[in-house]
Amino acid sequence: MAFDDILQKAINLHNQGKLAEAEQLYRQVLETAPKNAWAMHFLAMIAVARGAYDNAISLLYQAVDIDKKAAPFRFNLAMALQGAQFYSEATEQYKTAMKLDKDFAAEALNNIGNIYKITGQVKDAEKAYKKSIETDEKKSFYALNGLGILYREAGKYEKAMECFQRAIDVEEAFADAYANLATTLRVQGRLFEALPLYEKALGIDGNNPFIW
């Protein structure tokens, strides 16, 4: 079997959640074609799924060295760096991914907003979330949720609730937005309004530990 066929089989297994089988085939491809950047990239995604960020980062830097203009490599390298809490490097890679392919802009800006929020750069986080929302309305629900949390933490409850509601309008099955809207009502003492929203969130994602 040609290594292109092996790679496609590995991708199919990966998409089915059969990570161990996919990993074996990705490594088989790399034995035959050690500079196959896509095999490195997908192998890194398995490492990310397992929380093995150092391994993922190493593989993705190798993939980037082989193909510096592949936006998916840059974006996923940024995600791995973010997961490993290398926030400055992650931000730079997100910015590079956006320059290479504007389709990554909305999600990259949202993730940059998350980094700024985690590192206490609230004004920069707000700007990043707003740019993400402006970039692609269809992908804006994560950024709207992040922006809503910023407003709630600042005591701007009406603005926060508006953001969460807009996120729900964009993605009706977004449990986090229902939960955050409920929490914003709860902190204002509006418990009877909050409870049905918590129930809605749990109905969508009952395993989400952040809903309550």
Q: Tell me the per-residue pLDDT of 133-175, one tens digit each, with 9 for 90 and over.
A: 999 989 999 999 999 999 999 999 999 999 999 999 999 999 9
pLDDT at 204: 93
Higher pLDDT pick, 3 / 182: 182
Does 209 score more than 70 pLDDT? no
- Residue 48: count other Cβ atoms within 10 Å of its Cβ: 19
The confidence score (pLDDT) of residue 160 equals 98
Q: How many residues does the chain have?
A: 212
CB burial of residue 178 (10 Å; 0-12, 13-18, 19+): buried
The candidate with the shortest Cα–Cα distance to 115, out of 96, 143, 141, is 143
The pTM of the full predicted model, rounded to 2 decimals, is 0.91
Q: What is the pLDDT of residues 29-79, one digit of tens each?
A: 888 889 999 999 999 999 999 999 999 999 999 999 999 999 999 999 999
| 62: three-class secondary structure by DSSP | helix
